[in-house]
Each structure stands twice: as C-alpha cells, then as structure tokens.
Chain A
C-alpha cells in the first residue's frame, strides 16, 4: 500500500483543516494512518467474537443440554431452528435499519445489546429449567447475531474499501472460526469445573456455564461502544458524514440491485450449501467410508474450520495484492469441486480433500464478500449485506433439509453428487458473473 493512497482513506474531498489536525496526532490516533486502522480492525474483529462463541454453545454442550433439560435430539435442534429461521427475514431488516434508521454506530451497539440480552435469557432459561425461555433467548440472540455480522461487514467496508478489504474480511472470518473453536474446546471444560464446584450436574450448572459464556457478549458490546466512539471521532476529524448521501433508501431498492449482485447472491448460496450441510452430516461418512474412529472423524470434520482460521487472512492478503476477485472465486469453486469429487469417487485419504476444502472455503469467503462493495453504492451496503445474509440463511435452511432427506433416502454418494451439481451450477453462474462484469 502506498502512503498516498492511504490518505484517501475516509476522505473523498480533502479539506485544508485536516492537515492541521493530523499534525498533532500520533499515528495510533490518526484516523488516516495504517496503525489506527489496525487498532480499529482489532475492535472490529472482537465485535463478532461473542456472538460466534455463544452461537455454538448448544453444540459444544450437546449431551449436557440434552441431559440437564431432559430433551431429545429433535427438540435440541430447535435451539438452532429458533436462531436460523427468523433470520431469513430479520437480518435483511437489520441491514436496512443500519442504512436507514440507526446508522451503523448506533445499530451495531443495539445489535450487540440484543446478542448479550439473548444469551442472558438463554442462560436464565437453563437456570429456571424452562426450555421455552431458552428458545426465546436463542431467538433474541439470533435477532442480534446475524445483524451484527452485517454491521461488521459494513464497518469493514467503511474503513477499508480500496485498501486491505479482502484481508479484513479474511481476518473477520478467522475470528469467527476462532470464536467457535475456542467455544468447542473451552465450554465443556468450564461446565466440568462448575459441576465439580457445585457438586452435581443439572440445569443450574448449565445455566451458570451459559452465564459465563455471556461475558464474551459483554466484551463484544464494549468493542461496539469503542468502535462507535472511534468511528464518530474519525468522522469529526475527517469531516465525513456517516452514511448520509442525501438519497433515501427504501426496502423496494432491492429490486434495483444490479444484476451482478444477484449473481453474487447465487454464488454465495450455492457455495455454502456445498460446505456447511456436508460438514454437518460428514462424521458418519468418514467413519463408514474411510473406517475412521469417532475421534478421527470429528477431527477431520473440523479441519476445514481450523485451516480457515490462519488461511483466510493470508489468502485475503493475496487477493488484495492481485485483485481479480471473480477469478479467485472461480478457483475456489473449482478446487471445492475437485475435493468433493475426491470424496465421492475415490478412496484417497480424505485429509487431502478436506484440507483442500478448507483452503478453498477460506479463499472464497475472503474474495466473495468484498465483491458486494464493488457493485453496490455505499449507502446501500447494509441492505445488500443483510439481504445476502438472509438469502444465505434461507438457502442453507432449505438445502440442509434437502441434504438431510437425500442422505436419509439415497445415501452419501447421492448427496455428494448433489453437492457437485450445486457447485457446477455455481460455476456456470460464476462465468456469467465474469461476462456480465466484462460488458
């Protein structure tokens, strides 16, 4: 990054007064300086940490939740359903609210509050031994969680567009993965300690554990406050108005989204469908097809996420340096296709395929999401990201059910072939993406 370029950071039309101000600021406090952006990035990353940490609390405590609340697997899965289904609409709304009503700063703080509140209700439900309250908690948590991700994306574009944007998206992805990995490894241990302290396992133990998990949400809320302050300060110093361009945004703007944005949406859905449902259903596949033990199967299943944590910032950096996001997305799709074909049609060591899958997943995530910022005007960014998240949620919810029933009736080969077909559709979509951009 050249220095000259950096100075265009948040300023489109330079004012004379700015130079005076910046002379008195150390690089860390100067909104135009790289160092300051790194500081902002730090808070931006930890903004999502709490929600990613708490999102997978139920999965990490699956046996304990089922036992303590005396549930069966189906009712346990409701905890995820109550998070996901409302989000099909809500995070679209959340994006719109960010753009139109609250503005990014207030919006982020409100969503962080929702996340914290939801987790507290969730924990309270466990303490009081009311499962409906836990579901309500997940619902409230969901309202905040997904919209918070939208806010995070919008913040990233506001601060980093035209600079290290791909890298930033990569970093955010790795923070998300870090959040869930830390959760998976730590929360069971926390539960064990509390069980040892209280002397018995039960819904109270579960409740206390979840309350402790809520502290990560509080931490994220603090990040949101700091970020809001820094953003306001930067705006004052740089005399940049926050998301106000004079244009009024309406929900009906959606129909005026450029064609290439719709293509990006389709890429997003078709790709994630071939990743997440497979990881969700993959354990038995590795046990049966490759004679893995349960432990090995769990390990190989999580390797995609483990790889993506360090790989996505690196790959993001690479994409930043080279540009050409679409070609990178295409490459990611092709390598994903290859790894699914390896899994489906060969008995090759599945570690090869899964590592490849992890790399291509990180590459896609950090090349695809910033593309939205190139095709949508800045004042619609929140709406666009919210819509993308909505469509992704909808696609995943529907396709997960489809994948489940394909597996139930036709088995893994058929499921893999279904994923391969999805990826092929995506590849075609990608090509039209490329040609529509060329025009």
Chain B
C-alpha cells in the first residue's frame, strides 16, 4: 500500500510539474508561409510541383521548413542562429538539374543544423498469413512498389491555408489503382505549443512541424493487401540516428496508444538530440476516426542507405558527405481482421522538429480526479480511525474508572 501511495504521489507531483511546464511553454515563433519564393517567369515548375517555404522567426534564431514534391516529396529543416537568414534559390538550375548548391540558406555560417525527411516509396504486399509484418512476409508476396518520385501532383488551388499555416499536397500514380485514389500530405507549421484536435493529437511546439500522410481510395492489388511507407532521413555526416520507443501510462490524448516512437539525430560526441521525427505507432482507417478505427503500426529497424533519395530538395541543398538512413512504417497488427480494402483509407502522422522531442504529461483534469477520488476515502479512513481511537480511549477510560 505504501509503495503505491508513494508512487502515486510521485506521479501526481511529477505530473502536475510537467503539466504546468507543458502549459507554460510560452515559446513562440512568428511563422510565415510562402510558395515558390522568388520564382519568376520564364522559369516555372512543372504542373503540380511546388516548393513551400515556412519561416519561423524566433527571438534570436530562425527555423526554416521547406517542403517540395519535385521528385520524391521531402521536408527539409534548417536551423540558423540568425534572425536575418534567408532561402536563396537558383530557380533555372533547381528546375533543370537540382544540382548541389542551387538551394542555399544564407548566410551559410549561421546554419547550425539541417536535416531532411524524404518519402520515397509506398509498398504493397499480400498479407496471406495475416501477420501485418512486412519483415516476416515472403518477398514474393510484395507487389512492385509505387515510387513516389513518379507521382503526379494536383495543383495547389484551394489547399493553401495561410492563417493556419497548413498546406495539403495530393498526388497519384499513373496506374489504374490510383484512378480514384490519392496519397496526400498535410503539412502544418506551428507558432507555439499545442495539440491538434484530430487524433493522434501529437504534442507540438514552436520548434516543430507536422506531416499527416494518408492513402485514400486506392484500389488494392489483392484482397489481403496491406501497405507500408518507406521514408528516409538525410543529414550531415557529423550526426547519427537512433529510433527510441518510449512507453507511457498516459493515453488520454491518443486513446489506446501507450507508446511514442522517436527517431532522434544527435552529434557523434554527445547524446542530446538536435533533431527528431516523432510519431505514435497508430494509423487510422477512417478520415474521421472513432476508437475502433485505430490500427497499430510497426516500424522496421533503421538501415543505412548509400543512394541519395530522388528528391530535388535534398540534391539541391546538401553537399556530399551525407548520412542517409531509411525505415518502413507498416500499418496493421498481427491477426488484424480489417484490411486496406475494407475502408480504403489509412492515415499516419509524424512530427518533425529540432531539439528534444516534446513529451506528454498528465492533464490537470486527470490529476484532479485522482486527487479527489483517492483523497476522499483516504481522508475518511484517517478521520474515522482517529474518531474510533478517541472513542475507544474515552470508553476505556469510563470502563476502568471504577477499578481505579
């Protein structure tokens, strides 16, 4: 009983401390969104292709996010310790060859950290044994993957939301499977700490942006088809990556999900994270999910990749000496009765940012309920105990009085 109470008190104290920290995270950035910065005729991107620049201005630093779907869709994060830093694009060069140096963040000396996340492939496999684990699936069960660099993207009309700092890109392959289907990326940048209403309601802060990926209406090539998304992280060679899975007892923001996975990159000589991709191992099978529409997902081990991913953004920004790692996220769980063909929808969300990944804390409501719920009986026991003890003493006194 004691250990329980102690651990509870501890968790209460910590919870509230963290809770206040979380609520008190007042760090803000001034965010502005720009499409194709500096692009003037006669230069023009192919139809559907776009380069989004989100600039987050802090007190003494600037965080640049660049999202581009020329080639495989990629998100580039560049942090500078100057408030004056700017993105410079050599558009003709970028459009034609995307050669290294056609995209720069200046002044280059102010850049402290940069990394990119590239979505390269969409795998589809026939899950005959219903394990939902591509690692355990025979190679023959895999269909040819959809290469995201070959996707055709729809024009951005109406999908830019300047006030919310959100942009949605949707693309499709030329094959019949994508006749009524599309793969979409919703990119959001945040000014300050908070959560999205929609699950998984990841906690974000001013140092992060979020990508929601969904696959809608695609005709699967088999009845038991499941999908997996391959993505790669590109960074400077002075960094190394690691995927941690953290467990928490708290699932109040993402019901039934008790884990958070974070792919952190940290310098070779220290362990503090400089950049991260963070996600909860859950995907949703409906656009507006209820509890039953959640399905667990699984990530494969990190592998080192030697080929530079086919993204214009990565080729144009990074010099040689790169660290490239890749992993797959697969959707579904062992013996999951629901396949992609049942709902034709799956969505997954990842948070990308710099610094340490944000950590969840107990909400104030839950702390109050625990405190009241457990405090009342405890108080009653104590008061009752004291009362009984006092009464016993009084009656004992009266009983023994005559003898004395």
Contacts and interface: CB of A to CB of B under 8 A. Distances in A.
A binds B: yes
Contact of B8 (A341, A412, A424): A341
Interface stretch (B226-234, B250-258, B305-313, B395-403): B250-258
B249 interface: yes
B252 A346 contact: no
A194 B1 CA distance: 53
A411 B380 contact: no
Contacts of B11: 345
A431 interface: yes
A421 interface: yes
Given A413-B366, A420-B370, A428 B249 contact: no
Contact of B374 (A285, A408, A414, A420): A420
Given A408-B290, A417-B369, A421-B369, A344 B376 contact: no
Nearest to B281: A288
Contacts of A407: 255-256, 291
A345 B249 contact: yes
B38 interface: no
Interface in A192-221: none
A321 interface: no
A414 B251 CA distance: 8
Contact of A421 (B257, B258, B373): B373
A322 interface: no
A287 B249 contact: no
A418 B373 CA distance: 9
A288 B366 contact: no
A410 interface: yes
Given A294-B334, A431-B384, A284 B249 contact: no
A424 B258 contact: no
A338 interface: yes
Contact of B380 (A294, A345, A431): A431
Nearest to A417: B369
A285 B256 contact: yes
A348 to B, nearest CB: 11
A412 B251 contact: yes
Interface string B257-274: 111000000000000000
B2 interface: no
Interface string B284-296: 0000001100001
Contacts of B8: 341, 345
A347 B246 CA distance: 12
Nearest to B381: A431
B252 A414 contact: yes
Interface string A341-353: 1001111000000
Nearest to A415: B255
Given A345-B7, A410-B252, A421-B373, A288 B257 contact: yes
Main secondary structure of the interface of A (DSSP, over half): helix
A293 interface: yes
A428 B383 CA distance: 12
Contacts of B259: 288
Contact of A413 (B252, B291, B376, B380): B252
Given A289-B258, A417-B369, A411 B252 contact: yes
A424 B255 contact: no
Nearest to A432: B380
B172 to A, nearest CB: 31
Sort chain B's interface into a size bin.
Answer: 20 to 34
A347 B7 CA distance: 12
Contacts of B296: 287-288
B366 A424 contact: no
A424 B7 contact: no
A408 B256 CA distance: 9
B252 A424 contact: no
Nearest to A289: B258
Interface in B210-240: none
A245 interface: no
A347 B251 CA distance: 13
B79 to A, nearest CB: 34
Contacts of A410: 252, 255
B335 A294 contact: yes
B373 A287 contact: no
Nearest to A334: B1
A257 B32 CA distance: 70
A338 B341 CA distance: 43
A404 B397 CA distance: 55
Contact of B251 (A293, A294, A413, A418): A413
Contacts of B249: 289, 344-347, 413
B18 to A, nearest CB: 14
A284 B336 CA distance: 12
A420 B372 CA distance: 11
B301 interface: no
B247 interface: yes
Contact of B255 (A347, A412, A428): A412
Contacts of B257: 288, 411
A7 to B, nearest CB: 39
A304 B245 CA distance: 31
B373 A411 contact: no
B334 A420 contact: no
A409 interface: yes
A427 interface: yes
B156 interface: no
A424 B256 CA distance: 24
Contacts of B254: 411
Nearest to B290: A408
A371 B290 CA distance: 42
Contacts of A347: 247, 249
Nearest to B7: A345
A411 B370 contact: no
Interface in A380-439: 407-414, 417-418, 420-421, 424, 427-428, 431
Given A341-B4, A413-B250, A421-B373, A428 B256 contact: no
A431 B250 CA distance: 31
Task: Report the 10 A-B pairs with minimum CB-CB distance, sorted nearest first.
Answer: A411-B255, A411-B251, A421-B373, A289-B258, A408-B291, A411-B252, A427-B377, A424-B377, A424-B373, A294-B335
Given A284-B256, A407-B256, 17 more contacts: A288-B257, A288-B258, A289-B247, A289-B249, A289-B251, A294-B333, A294-B334, A294-B335, A407-B255, A412-B256, A413-B250, A413-B252, A414-B366, A417-B370, A420-B373, A424-B373, A428-B376
23 contacts: A287-B296, A288-B257, A288-B258, A338-B4, A344-B249, A345-B11, A346-B249, A347-B249, A407-B256, A407-B291, A408-B290, A410-B252, A411-B250, A411-B253, A411-B255, A414-B252, A421-B372, A421-B373, A424-B373, A427-B377, A428-B376, A431-B380, A431-B384
Interface of A: 284-285, 287-289, 293-294, 338, 341, 344-347, 407-414, 417-418, 420-421, 424, 427-428, 431
Interface of B: 1, 4, 7-8, 11, 247, 249-259, 290-291, 296, 333-335, 366, 369-370, 372-374, 376-377, 380, 384
